[in-house]
Amino acid sequence: MKLFNKIKEFLSGVRFEMKKVNWPSWDELKASTGVVLVFSIFITLFIALVDFGVGTLVRKLIDWL
């Protein structure tokens, strides 16, 4: 019975805290999603270019030796 009371107390605390959450509006959510997608694409391209450049440099260095 003690475990049930602890679970009930935990869920009550979760409900209380969830009421304090400031949820974003639909427009804010769409804008934030767009920013995350654009940033992710940018970072992906940047890492791909750096990887390609370093790989090419290492290959040329190995061939030179």
Residue 12 lies in a domain: no
Confidence of residue 64 (pLDDT cuts 50, 70, 90): confident
Residue 2 lies in a domain: no
User: What distance in Å separates the CA atoms of residue 59 and residue 65, rounded to the nearest whole number?
Assistant: 10
Distances (CA, A) of 16 to 1, 10, 19, 46, 48: 23, 10, 5, 43, 45
Residue 8 lies in a domain: no
Residue 59 lies in a domain: yes
0.75 surpassed by pTM: no
User: What distance in Å separates the CA atoms of residue 22 and residue 19, rounded to the nearest whole number?
Assistant: 8
Confidence of residue 65 (pLDDT cuts 50, 70, 90): confident
Number of domains in the chain: 1
The 10s digit of each residue's pLDDT in 20-48 is 999 999 999 999 999 999 999 999 999 99
Has residue 1 got a pLDDT over 80?
no
User: Which structural domain range is residue 44 located in?
Assistant: 26-65
Residue 19 lies in a domain: no
Residue 3 lies in a domain: no
Residue 1 lies in a domain: no
Residue 5 lies in a domain: no
